[in-house]
A = this chain, B = another copy of it.
Amino acid sequence: METLTAKPAITRDTKKLVAMQKIQSVALKAIHDFFEREGFLQLMPIMLSPITDPLGPDPGSSVLKTGEIEYLGQKLQLTQSMILHKQIAIGLGLEKFYIMSPNIRLEAAERRATGKHAFEFTQVDFEIKGATMSDVFKLVEGLLKAIVDDVKIRAVEELELLNREIPKWRFPFRQVTTHELEDQYGSDWESSASLDTDTPFWAICHDREFYDKKDYSREGEHFLNYDLIYPEGFGEALSGAEREHEYDRLMQRITEDKLDPKKYASYLALAKEDRLSPSAGGGLGVERLVRYLTGSKHVGDVQVFRRVPGETLLY
């Protein structure tokens, strides 16, 4: 019999791991209860597709490549996010839905140090036909309040075991533009601004992916998009936007981003036939949420199976 060379399991504090999974379970249940009350359908995720979110061009991105496999002669990409599919689903008649969507982003090894990057994680990815930014703000604030309220009531022992006290938040969350944040904290504003508060805040107006809608009512480069930032240094919780859906504007944005429109051919074909619609939505990272709720140092600490860039995987 051959000798097996794998190392034993990474030592985990079992009690803490179980407590974190309990807090996660309470949070997930609160999420499902909330979206059902709000009349959302739950759709199933997909992991392989001819198209996926390009995640850029973004000078802040360190994704090395898009995971890809070949199957029966087709090249299929691993889901980086389901944003394009959410827009297509709206085109297929689904007006208000969420998806528990695993995302794979093959980050550079140095992202290990940020504490908030895992190379696979799950987003609570939602989209609403005809919605605006302010609709999403109201929805997400209600969602986060429901989650935190449930966790504080249903996971008392677990929070105590983890020595975690979640601060009381003030509603509604503050809205700040990225221009203001840059003026106050510099271009790397996220962690400083996050450390500077004990209530989440909305960072609005980011110059990023082509599907985030430009504010055509204003001069200059303004965008109808938003990130939600956790307090206490935990950083980004959610990212979202109103969406571009018109063919000419999508083509212009894709061209400006120097992306290859052929890569989005089936999506653009729907836009050309006017089968996409205005919508807004976002994606809330489950593991980052649990990291915040449990006050954990690294997002990998809350994963039963750590998926941290640069770490060797045993299983």
Contacts and interface: CB of A to CB of B under 8 A. Distances in A.
A257 B8 CA distance: 25
A17 B69 contact: no
B9 A270 contact: yes
Interface string A264-288: 0111111011010000000000110
Contact of A261 (B4, B122, B309, B313): B4
Interface string A107-144: 00100000000011110000000000000000000000
A153 interface: no
B17 A93 contact: yes
A262 interface: yes
Contact of A46 (B69, B85, B91, B307): B307
Interface stretch (A36-44, A188-196, A212-220, A226-234): A36-44
B41 A9 contact: no
Interface-central residue, A7, A41, A49, A74, by most chain B CB under 10 Å: A41
Given A68-B69, A84-B315, A315-B49, A4 B268 contact: yes
Interface-central residue, A12, A15, A273, A305, by most chain B CB under 10 Å: A305
A167 interface: no
Interface-central residue, A5, A28, A119, by most chain B CB under 10 Å: A28
Nearest to A99: B304
A14 interface: yes
Contacts of A85: 305, 315
B71 A67 contact: yes
Interface in A63-78: 64, 67-69, 71-72, 74, 76, 78
A21 B43 contact: yes
Contacts of A312: 74
21 contacts: A4-B268, A4-B272, A9-B270, A12-B92, A28-B42, A32-B32, A43-B304, A44-B286, A45-B102, A46-B305, A47-B120, A48-B119, A51-B315, A68-B69, A69-B78, A72-B310, A74-B313, A85-B305, A92-B304, A266-B314, A267-B315
Shortest 7 CB-CB contacts between residues of A and residues of B: A14-B93, A6-B265, A6-B266, A266-B314, A4-B265, A25-B41, A25-B42
